[in-house]
Amino acid sequence: MLYLPTDSLDPNYYFALEEYLMTQKALKEDLFMIWQTDFTVMLGNYQNAYVELNLPELEKDQVAITRRNTGGGTIFTDRGGWQFSFITPRPQGDKRHEAINFERFMQSIIQALQSLGFPAEMNSRNDLAIHGKKISGNAQCFKGDYTLHHGSLLFDSDLSAMACYLNPAKHKIISKGIKSVKDRTTNIKNYCPDDWDAKTFKDALVKEIIGEQPSYFHLSEEDEKAVQKIKQEKFESWDWVFGRNPQFSLVNEAVLAGGLLKMHCQVEKGVIQSLVFEGDFFSAHDLSEVEESLKGISFNKEAVQNHFEKYYPQDLIHNISNPKIIDTLFKNL
């Protein structure tokens, strides 16, 4: 197995690197890498950012938001945790390898953790746990002739931040009879010798997986340029992070000085498809014109603010300011 040492803290770099290795680099054997990020939330490929994330808190704390190629749920990462990636060639012509199969890769991590003295075990289709508490989420996809399997390892992550930034699906909370994300996760550090830090843990884990004398894989300057191109054009783009949101509708309302304001909005691929004002307020403007003008605008608070400032600098509704209208539209998002 090849080992690719890394030192970036940029999640988009790693997602671009994974894609580059699978689509433009003809790897002949399995490759493993382990990496870290600054404060980041990572959406699954098929998830809706407006449902999964506490966007006001993320914006306030300037936490990075990204989306990966794989499915699965949203995770929070920081320098207290590790992410790992396996990239493996797929045998040609064997349809058994077309199916998602977590066990092979998760068993590699389980065996490494158990060898280090951690009682890790599979807890669900794609989670690892210690004593029933999640320490790792895993995801997988195919691209080109390769399988990508990557996952997270909570070593000393900020679980309070995780609970603050993520909106876990209600069925995950109710079905487990617990109160929050924090209640069902734990850090590996809680089971470590006192003198172990994140790097000590990572070095020990790599040695278990790769062996004492790994075969190193290094990127050329040309490789790095290609990875940066994918990072900038795909993973850093608004279209990738927010434009891939599934179609959804929302109805937000607020009782304000000028009366009840209710806003109906339909969004597809991150763009407003329709918006309707409803309520018992008064307006001297033709709000149907405003509604029509907002079609095609990115469902993004800053984009809507810029639209109002450019085309509707004066308040549209009596005793309800334009900023209040915008706040209502993005309420709880």
pLDDT digits (tens, 9 = 90+) for 236-254: 999 999 888 888 899 999 9
What is residue 172's predicted lDDT score, i.e. its pLDDT?
Answer: 42
What is residue 98's predicted lDDT score, i.e. its pLDDT?
Answer: 62
In the chain, the domains with their CATH numbers are 2-241 (3.30.930.10), 248-329 (3.30.390.50)
Question: In this model, does residue 179 exceed pLDDT 60?
Answer: no
What is residue 178's predicted lDDT score, i.e. its pLDDT?
Answer: 35
Q: Please answer whether residues 139 and 70 qualify as being in contact, where contact means their C-beta atoms are separated by less than 8 angstroms.
A: yes
What is residue 56's predicted lDDT score, i.e. its pLDDT?
Answer: 84
Task: Please write the tens of the pLDDT for every residue from 247-285.
Answer: 889 999 999 999 999 999 999 988 999 999 999 999 989
Question: In this model, does residue 175 exceed pLDDT 50?
Answer: no
Q: Which of 44-53, 101-110, 239-248 has the highest mean pLDDT?
A: 101-110
Which percentage of the chain shows pLDDT scores above 90?
74
pLDDT (mean) for 161-190 = 65
What is residue 91's predicted lDDT score, i.e. its pLDDT?
Answer: 75
What is residue 154's predicted lDDT score, i.e. its pLDDT?
Answer: 97
Task: Please write the tens of the pLDDT for every residue from 292-318.
Answer: 999 999 998 999 999 999 999 999 999
What is residue 77's predicted lDDT score, i.e. its pLDDT?
Answer: 95
Strand, helix or coil for residue 145: coil
Q: H-type helices in 94-166, by residue range? A: 103-115, 159-165
Residue 119's CB is within 10 A of a number of other CB atoms, namely: 11
Q: What pTM value is reported for the model?
A: 0.83
What is residue 213's predicted lDDT score, i.e. its pLDDT?
Answer: 83
Of the pLDDT bands very low, low, confident and very high (cuts 50, 70, 90), residue 99 is confident
Mean pLDDT score across all residues of the chain: 90
pLDDT (mean) for 179-193 = 78
Question: In this model, does residue 70 exceed pLDDT 90?
Answer: yes
Which percentage of the chain shows pLDDT scores above 70?
93
Residue 71's CB is within 10 A of a number of other CB atoms, namely: 14
What is residue 223's predicted lDDT score, i.e. its pLDDT?
Answer: 97
Question: In this model, does residue 177 exceed pLDDT 70?
Answer: no
Question: In this model, does residue 93 exceed pLDDT 70?
Answer: no
Q: Please answer whether residues 85 and 146 qualify as being in contact, where contact means their C-beta atoms are separated by less than 8 angstroms.
A: no
Question: In this model, does residue 10 exceed pLDDT 80?
Answer: yes
Q: How far is CA 58 from the centre of its chain?
A: 12
Of the pLDDT bands very low, low, confident and very high (cuts 50, 70, 90), residue 176 is very low
What is the Cα–Cα distance from 201 to 45, expressed in whole angstroms?
Answer: 29
Length of the chain counted residue by residue: 333
What is the Cα–Cα distance from 44 to 35, expressed in whole angstroms?
Answer: 18
Residue of 205, 87, 194 lying closest to 135 (CA atoms): 205
Question: In this model, does residue 174 exceed pLDDT 50?
Answer: no
Task: Specify the pairing of strand 120-122 against strand 127-130.
Answer: antiparallel
What is residue 181's predicted lDDT score, i.e. its pLDDT?
Answer: 53
Of the pLDDT bands very low, low, confident and very high (cuts 50, 70, 90), residue 123 is confident
